[in-house]
Amino acid sequence: MRIKKITITKEDFNKTIKEILIGLDISPEIVLVKINGTFTPISEVIKKKTELEILHIIKF
Amino acid sequence: MVIKCNKCKNLAVIYLAYGKHNLCIHHFNDFFEKRFRKTIRMYNLVRSTDYLGIATSGGKDSMVLLYLMNKIYKKSRIKMCALFVDEGTPGYSNKTREVVETFCKKEKIKLVSSSHKKEFGISTGEIAEKYNKKEGTLCTYCGVLRRDTLNRLAEKEKVTKVATGHNLDDETQTVLMNMFTNDAIRLFRTGPLAGIIDLGEDIRPRIKPLYLTPEKEIAAYALYNNIPFHDCNCPFFSEAKRNIFRTFLNETEVNYPGSKFSLIRSFLKIKDVINIDKITTNNHNKSKLRKCKICNNVSSQDICASCRLLKELKIDKL
């Protein structure tokens, strides 16, 4: 399992995780996301999070 | 903004864009398992007299398949066993074997296994040193030999059906790939009940209970339920062509959620009305099942794929 941690910048506040992933050229179809150890839907809007933990678990 | 489950007030863990559902672990599991059971029921994949062989590689798809089949059928009349093929890939096969063996021991599932080395006298690691790279990728050799070994195990164990972990992503990729290569016979052989046009008594039907389940949800289900799986790619992994279709389908799914389901449902509708006999008649020599002239296994050509590949490697089939 590839785990990638992404730090969220100020511009990313109020974006959904999906929008952030697409901005980073990562397909939301191939990852699961954890924030503070909890699995999180990509529809979640980031308010003041500093780090996303992305599990690359799908073969790509 | 923390997202809540659409069905209860618990924390959502996954968003299913095609249905606009945010679900908690409990309701995701419920949704996932209901679809799994529905697929089996809808396509009549399992009968009460069946003895099922679950093809298990140690990856997330086959481990989720084994877990769910065991969960559903362990208290029923239907018998099942796990089928495992050791390809002999250095630093990889021993790890997948360990995952499968540990799980089967814990769940008291009968494990039937064999290896390429035992069946053909050569392991994938040894093929990697010998094969002609111009003839194709190593995955071609390994895939053909694994399928042959699986058939041998199924025959030896006398299972009535072999269940495989093919998921919605695999199947949509396969449909597109076969269309792009104009391979209508191979295209219409695929399906939840693997479509062997002329079922010979030596071939066990393949069933795919995860046919309508997206790959991402299988990974999520495995993680949420602590189902063990081996999550590294094979060191010889190379599927350049399939990767192109995988990326295309994933991008389409992100932009137009539900596209993979639409594609597979369209394919199944076409398959329902298509006259397969007409396609096979037009490609008579290609499609008719016969016995391999070397090993006597059922094949669509005079010499089966594994004999052809082993001949290239200058190895006699055992």
pLDDT range class, residue B199, cuts 50, 70, 90: very low
Which residue type, as a one-letter code, is found at position B111? L
Whether residue B3 lies inside any domain: the answer is no
Whether residue B154 lies inside any domain: the answer is yes
Q: Choose among B11, B17, B219: nearest Cβ to A58.
A: B219
Whether residue B140 lies inside any domain: the answer is yes
User: Is B233 in CB contact (< 8 Å) with chain A?
Assistant: yes
CATH of residue B252's domain is: 3.40.50.620
Whether residue B169 lies inside any domain: the answer is yes
Per-residue pLDDT reduced to its tens digit, B235-245: 887 767 888 99
Question: Which of A24-28, B153-157, B223-227, B274-278 has the weakest average pLDDT?
Answer: B274-278
Q: What is the pLDDT of residue B184?
A: 85
| Residue of B219, B212, B190 whose CA lies nearest to B61 | B219
Residue B285 has pLDDT above 70, yes or no: no
Q: What is the pLDDT of residue B214?
A: 97
User: DSSP character for B301?
Assistant: S
Per-residue pLDDT reduced to its tens digit, B73-84: 998 999 999 999
Q: For chain A, what is the domain count?
A: 1
Check: CB of residue B169 under 8 Å from CB of residue B260: yes
Whether residue B72 lies inside any domain: the answer is yes
Alpha carbons A57 and A54: distance in angstroms, whole number: 9
Give one word for A34, left, alpha or beta, with left for phi > 0 and alpha for psi -120 to 50: beta
Q: For chain B, what is the domain count?
A: 1
State the nearest Cα–Cα gap between A25 and chain B, in angstroms: 11
pLDDT range class, residue B7, cuts 50, 70, 90: very high
Whether residue B194 lies inside any domain: the answer is yes
User: Is B240 in CB contact (< 8 Å) with chain A?
Assistant: no
pTM: 0.91
Q: What is the pLDDT of residue A60?
A: 46
Per-residue pLDDT reduced to its tens digit, B10-54: 999 999 999 999 999 999 999 999 999 999 999 999 999 999 999
Mutate to test the interface with B, among A14, A48, A59, A60 (most CBs of B within 10 A): A59
State the nearest Cα–Cα gap between B254 and chain A, in angstroms: 7
Cβ contact (<8 Å) for B231 and A57?
yes
Domain that holds residue A24: 2-56
Whether residue B315 lies inside any domain: the answer is no
Query: Reduced to 3 states, what is the DSSP secondary structure of residue B254?
Result: helix
Per-residue pLDDT reduced to its tens digit, B289-312: 777 888 877 777 788 888 888 887
User: Is B7 in CB contact (< 8 Å) with chain A?
Assistant: no
Domain that holds residue B112: 31-282
| Residue of B74, B244, B236, B44 whose CA lies nearest to B140 | B236
